[in-house]
Structure 1
Amino acid sequence: MNTALVLSLALLLDAMFGEPQWLWNRLPHPAVLMGRLINQCDERFNSEHSRKLKGLLVLLALIAGAAVLGQILSLFGPVVEVVVVAIMLAQRSLVNHVRAVADGLRLSLTQGRRAVAMIVSRDTNAMQEPAVARSAIESAAENLSDGVIAPAFWFLIGGLPGLLIYKIVNTADSMIGYLTPRHADFGWASARMDDLLNLIPARLTAALIALPGGVLQRWRGIQTDAAKHRSPNAGWPEAAMARAIDVALAGPRSYDGQMQQFAWVNVTGARIIGPAAIDAAITRLWQAWAVMLGISLTLGLLLI
């Protein structure tokens, strides 16, 4: 079975079952194991001098280990590959987390804040309903890229080694890639590598959102708004999602008690939004997933 057909089955498996709690309550999820390994590396090597060099060497070791593990797992055949890829995808999980915010807002603002706090790092205690909705939609767009399209893309390019390399780098970036005094140097290589690995997938995600959303003709505006984002990649799916559901995203938000002024994305879009806008974003998530599945199936059938 070729890689594209393996991916197609994995996309369907993940969409149907997501992350079964009965399994991950008994076993550590691979992402958790990756996080533990990176945390151990951080505690052991992120000290004193040459932090940037140590961080680079740790990253190279993680990449090499992921590549070897992926190669070993691929020897067990397509069934194991399908299961591993499905575990590494997060479409169903992402939709469930985002839908929980919409469901929470329908009950109360407090419930909505509680649900969105599970998926964003910004301050949520003082958020009003539009800010809660924007946060959920932005998280949906960005995590569609990081959690679904990018892993799928790198599996198509490099099989299980490519997929696991992407996941270990992305996990490292999420843990040590922040510009804090402790991680500015040690996590530099992980952050830059994550930027590189997401360069194509982020733009692909934007296209997958824009195409079924009927806003592909507004690509230049998506490109302009994407450039406003702090990340060279995260702004692309966010800008596409904003146009696909006609809302304004980003804007002012608070981190660690400090209000920060972010430029509005799709500035003419609706700003007074709520659960219905989140529902619309979920629809776009599934549409983008369906287009990716269609691409994968087509490639798979052509390669038979």
Structure 2
Amino acid sequence: MSAAILSAALLLDAAVGEPRWLWSRLPHPAVLMGRAVRWCDERYNQGYDPRPGGIKTVLILLAGAIVLGWFLSLIGPLVECVVAAILLAQRSLVQHVQAVADALRLSVEDGRMMVTRIVSRETSQMETPDIARAAIESAAENLSDGVVAPAFWFLIGGLPGILAYKVINTADSMIGYRTAKYEEFGWAAARLDDVLNWIPARLTALLIAVTSRLFTSWGAIRDDARLHRSPNAGWPEAAMARVLGVALAGPRVYDGERRELPFVFEDGAHDIGPDAIDRAVKALWRAWGAMLAATVVIALF
């Protein structure tokens, strides 16, 4: 049953995406999750050793998500389908990434403004290749975090599974930083997010590679992924880099500080632009189509 519901949710998300008329009137579930994380941050991120407070935060968030998911699942399959579709992000991901390519065709300034919406790094000094690279990296990473991983955890645990994943992923994006304020408090959220994304990140890389007939390059993708600063994000980025023939990751600026990070697939093209983003969007849809097909097969058999 979960696979059939997920198949319908994937199609619903791809068709409707994030309707502005709805979320301009109601708070999006991601916003509500963010408020819950912020409440825990204000309440438990205290004292000389905030790590226990961070662990308590993760337990509270998980418990709330699982109970809410269980309650909603009792209402019926239609509610499960709608909630799952809301928590998937294929259409909105494609729209945001494509918007960067469209803006970049107008000017570098427009491209910078648009890519700021999907990346957290400094963009004021970015040139065309930097903007294109950032958009493609975001496309690959968010295919994993926003589509494949939620779908995977829905298959494993239904609504409790997908809600638990999303609230931990939200917590990681808010408190999972190695800063003075969050290194200890956000430790549990960051580590659990790594665990929950371990399989989905590799599945995402596999989907990208197989749908672009690059399965024979799996060894190279694996080696490239190990160069990335993240244990999970490197996998979809490495696969996307090989599929497009471009170099990803590499040096970038965070909070005014330039970090000399290694390139993923350094031999790929460095001078890239909006056309490379267009090809990344096509790769997103191919991977999505393969995931949908696999889900339908699971539902049937």
Shorter chain as denominator, the TM-score bin is over 0.9
The amino acid across from 1:50 in the alignment is D
The amino acid across from 1:11 in the alignment is L
1:250 shift after superposition = 1.1
The percent identity for this pair of structures is 61
1:133 shift after superposition = 0.0
- Mapping of residues 1-304 of structure 1, within 5 Å: 2-302=1-301
Q: Aligned with 2:46: secondary structure?
A: coil
- Where in structure 1 are there 5+ consecutive unaligned residues? none
The amino acid across from 1:178 in the alignment is Y
- Where in structure 2 are there 5+ consecutive unaligned residues? none
Aligned length: 301
Equivalents in 2 of 1:207, 1:268: separation in Å? 21
Please list the CA deviations of residues 37-62 of structure 1 after superposition, one character each: whole Å capped at 9, or x if unmatched. Answer: 10011011101133111110110111
1:258 shift after superposition = 1.2
1:115 shift after superposition = 0.3
Equivalents in 1 of 2:49, 2:108: separation in Å? 47
Q: Aligned with 2:253: secondary structure?
A: strand
Q: Aligned with 1:75: secondary structure?
A: helix
Q: Structure 1-normalised TM-score?
A: 0.98
Q: Aligned with 1:225: secondary structure?
A: helix
CA contact (8 A) 1:150 1:201 kept: yes
The amino acid across from 1:292 in the alignment is M
Equivalents in 2 of 1:275, 1:50: separation in Å? 47
- Higher mean alpha-carbon deviation, 257-266 vs 190-199, is at 257-266
CA contact (8 A) 2:133 2:248 kept: yes
Equivalents in 2 of 1:52, 1:183: separation in Å? 9
Equivalents in 1 of 2:201, 2:89: separation in Å? 16
Equivalents in 2 of 1:251, 1:45: separation in Å? 36
The amino acid across from 2:238 in the alignment is A
CA contact (8 A) 1:245 1:277 kept: yes
Q: Aligned with 1:121: secondary structure?
A: coil
Equivalents in 1 of 2:56, 2:276: separation in Å? 44
Equivalents in 1 of 2:50, 2:78: separation in Å? 41
Equivalents in 2 of 1:154, 1:40: separation in Å? 25
Equivalents in 2 of 1:290, 1:226: separation in Å? 24
Q: Structure 2-normalised TM-score?
A: 0.99
CA contact (8 A) 2:112 2:124 kept: yes
Equivalents in 2 of 1:41, 1:139: separation in Å? 28
The amino acid across from 2:190 in the alignment is A
Please list the CA deviations of residues 251-303 of structure 1 after superposition, one character each: whole Å capped at 9, or x if unmatched. Answer: 1111111111111111111111000000000000000000000000000011x
Compute the RMSD of aligned alpha carbons: 0.7
